[in-house]
């Protein structure tokens, strides 16, 4: 029997006439895209919020059209009868402020590439620094606009896990359960430095021009290489060796023959980075880097942030993660346990490292079901 086709996902837009950042800057006409799956109960008690990763969008599950090549990134665990069952839950997700994917017609965000209503020109670097807490506050406004007072679950991978921790610490009365995936409750010095390395190719691209490139040649070379670095760190050696090995970029062209003779992994990563750069914005990338560097759960100290959390947590990690490696996971677990938090730790395996928290989440299906049934 043919499986019933799920209805197409509808992209909606949420607007805030006024928003004040954590730094005290006022923004007008803030817009973010959002989508949902399932139905909200009459008492509005079945809402689940999914927070997306650094280079992601609100497209967490389903398809916009039947012909779409791929569904949303967590489609393996969100949908009818799945771990986060949309026959039971109303699942929503929204694009963050300064979302990277400004060239994607299904992404709506406010950031440096947006028109400043005061000047009629793109903000550029006049846009204020924003934080993970600012992302959460925009999401909170969206949630409240739907009449939802309490979320049955907040969850997300990578940067989405930072938002999950922040939700649980900043609005404990609104979060019944939290599921941070492939992340940590505070950025450490090494990751702050790695994020700086991600940003570096943009800053040395002459087309970046101090952030003033709108209406001119965009810094696509720098942004492409930045995205190459993100992809490389988000993966692992098992994936790289199995996919590329030591094969040359061009058959019969020995990489030892000249400086510009390359290996396949070099050329393929750079090609993918440049393709993604066509749909992204370099300044938005830099603002995302800053927001991630600044992150500590609750905005003060790790211990204080963890002390404010009340929700039980299912913490899902990957032991070979190069972005949030084992020492960061261990520090998060210790802080949670020292604060007396209810935290269950589950690990997933795979050759992708960090990206297994997006691509291999079906491994956690049993753990998620058990957590939601508690």
The residues annotated as belonging to the active site are: 158, 321, 354
**Secondary structure of 67-92 as H, E, C letters:** CCCCCCCCCCCEECCCCEECCCCEEE
Nearest to 322 by CA among 190, 180, 156: 190
CA distance 261 to 173: 58
Q: In 171-327, at which residue ranges do the beta strands (DSSP E only) sit?
A: 178-181, 313-317
Task: Check if the beta carbon of residue 348 is closer than 8 Å to that of residue 203.
Answer: no
Label residue 275 left, alpha or beta by phi (over 0 means left) and psi (-120 to 50 means alpha). Answer: alpha
Q: Is 192 exposed, middle or buried (0-12, 13-18, 19+ CB in 10 A)?
A: middle
Maximum alpha-carbon separation in the chain:
69
b (16+ CB within 10 A) / e for 27-44: beebebbbbbbbebeeee
Any bridge partners for residue 153, and if so which? Answer: 48
CA distance 178 to 172: 10
């Amino acid at each position: 029997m043919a499986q019933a086709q799920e209805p197409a996902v509808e992209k909606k837009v949420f607007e805030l006439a006024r928003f004040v950042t954590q730094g005290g800057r006022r923004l007008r006409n803030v817009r973010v895209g959002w989508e949902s799956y399932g139905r909200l109960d009459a008492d509005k008690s079945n809402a689940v919020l999914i927070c997306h990763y650094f280079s992601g969008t609100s497209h967490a599950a389903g398809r916009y059209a039947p012909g779409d090549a791929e569904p949303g990134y967590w489609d393996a665990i969100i949908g009818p009868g799945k771990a986060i069952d949309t026959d039971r839950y109303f699942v929503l997700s929204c694009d963050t402020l300064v979302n990277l994917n400004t060239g994607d017609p299904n992404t709506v965000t406010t950031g440096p590439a947006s028109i400043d209503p005061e000047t009629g020109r793109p903000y550029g670097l006049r846009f204020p620094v924003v934080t993970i807490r600012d992302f959460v506050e925009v999401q909170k406004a969206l949630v409240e606009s739907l009449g939802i007072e309490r979320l049955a679950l907040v969850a997300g991978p990578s940067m989405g896990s930072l938002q999950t921790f922040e939700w649980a610490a900043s609005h404990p009365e609104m979060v019944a359960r939290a599921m941070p995936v492939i992340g940590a409750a505070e950025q450490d010095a090494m990751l702050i430095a790695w994020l700086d390395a991600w940003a570096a190719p943009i800053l040395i691209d002459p087309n970046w021009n101090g952030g003033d490139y709108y209406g001119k040649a965009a810094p696509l070379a720098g942004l492409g290489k930045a995205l190459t670095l993100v992809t490389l760190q988000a993966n692992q050696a098992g994936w790289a060796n199995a996919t590329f090995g030591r094969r040359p970029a061009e058959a019969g062209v020995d990489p030892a023959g000249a400086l510009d003779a390359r290996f396949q992994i070099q050329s393929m990563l750079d090609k993918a980075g440049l393709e993604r750069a066509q749909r992204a914005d370099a300044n938005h990338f830099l603002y995302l880097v800053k927001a991630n560097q600044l992150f500590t759960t609750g905005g003060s100290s790790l211990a204080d942030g963890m002390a404010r959390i009340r929700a039980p947590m299912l913490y899902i990690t990957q032991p070979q993660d190069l972005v949030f490696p084992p020492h960061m996971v261990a520090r998060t677990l210790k802080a949670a346990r020292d604060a007396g938090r209810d935290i269950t730790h589950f690990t997933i395996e795979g050759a992708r490292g960090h990206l297994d928290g997006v691509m291999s989440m079906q491994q956690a299906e049993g753990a998620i079901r058990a957590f939601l049934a508690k």
